[in-house]
């Protein structure tokens, strides 16, 4: 059973370009979470999605960032018009259940490291 797959593992963009990060959850998992990790910081929650629904986006910046988890295909985190401050590691996690039904164990991918020049 493959784990959470994220790609690309490394992405370099120039200021003003768009970044798209993809996440395929573990088989059988319909709940996906995105976290951002800045240097010397812990992970910060960004968004929690179920298939075709955004459940909690309280951690998403109001502008330039969006996320989706379509019925078919991976979850996508999209960052438009990237700036240097967007440079970070972006982690995706999945779980078989969500909300308070989840035991708290999230299965994390190895992350996508975005560098903005």
Partner 1 sequence: AQSVTQLDSHVSVSEGTPVLLRCNYSSSYSPSLFWYVQHPNKGLQLLLKYTSAATLVKGINGFEAEFKKSETSFHLTKPSAHMSDAAEYFCVVYNQAGTALIFGKGTTLSVSS
Q: Which residues bind partner 1 (CB under 8 A)?
A: 3-4, 33, 35, 40-45, 48, 55-56, 58-59, 91, 93, 98-106, 108-111
Residue 19 in tokens? 């970044």
CA 53 to chain centre: 14
Residue 27 in tokens? 């088989």
Question: Closest CB to partner 1 among 76 and 108?
Answer: 108
Strand spans (E) along the chain: 5-7, 10-13, 19-24, 31-37, 43-50, 53-56, 65-68, 75-79, 88-95, 107-108, 112-116
Smallest separation, CB 60 to partner 1 (Å): 11
Smallest separation, CB 86 to partner 1 (Å): 19
Smallest separation, CB 16 to partner 1 (Å): 28
Question: Closest CB to partner 1 among 19 and 49?
Answer: 49
Nearest one of 80, 3, 65 to 34, comparing CA atoms: 65
Question: Closest CB to partner 1 among 4 and 82?
Answer: 4
Smallest separation, CB 9 to partner 1 (Å): 9
């Amino acid at each position: 059973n493959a784990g959470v797959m994220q790609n690309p593992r490394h992405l370099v963009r120039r200021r003003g370009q768009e970044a798209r990060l993809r996440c395929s959850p573990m088989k059988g998992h319909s709940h996906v979470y995105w976290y951002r990790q800045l240097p010397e910081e812990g992970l910060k929650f960004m968004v929690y999605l179920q298939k075709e629904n955004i459940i909690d986006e309280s951690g998403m910046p109001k502008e330039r960032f969006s996320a989706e988890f379509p019925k078919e295909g991976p979850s996508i985190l999209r960052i438009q018009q990237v700036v240097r401050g967007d440079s970070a590691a972006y982690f995706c996690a999945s779980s078989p259940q969500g909300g308070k039904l989840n035991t708290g164990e999230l299965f994390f991918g190895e992350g996508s490291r975005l560098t903005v020049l």
